Amino acid sequence: MHPIPRRVAASLPLAGLASTAGAQTPAVQLFRIVSQRDEVIIGLTEAELDSLGTGPGVERIARRLVAEGQITAWRYIVGRAPDGSTRFGTTARVAIMRQDSYRIEPYSAALPVAPPPG
């Protein structure tokens, strides 16, 4: 086994930082809530998810629905950005009320996702 040259060894930590800085987490995580009647895409910021406890996002949402009977979030739909491009954006705050049967799943958007209004 050959030792790593000092120049290469010194640059390895910097390479890890560059890839971490370039791969930022999205400001909003989207979830699809499917009930017997309809479905809605909601978005929660990291701070909102953190306020729901620990674990995967779908479990956090489910626990809140069971414990408190509802959760409030931004509803997301496909629309136009100010520059004319297509993206997911907010429409309004919605309350999801507890029902007997739901499916909650992470939603991976193929389009850019706008952060909620300030």
Q: Contact at 8 Å (CB) between 94 and 40?
A: yes
Q: What is the pLDDT of residue 26?
A: 59
Residue 92 predicted with pLDDT over 90:
yes
Distance (Å) of CA 103 to CA 4, 45, 54, 71: 51, 20, 19, 14
Q: What is the pLDDT of residue 21?
A: 35
The pLDDT tens digits of the residues spanning 24-44 come to 445 899 999 998 888 999 999
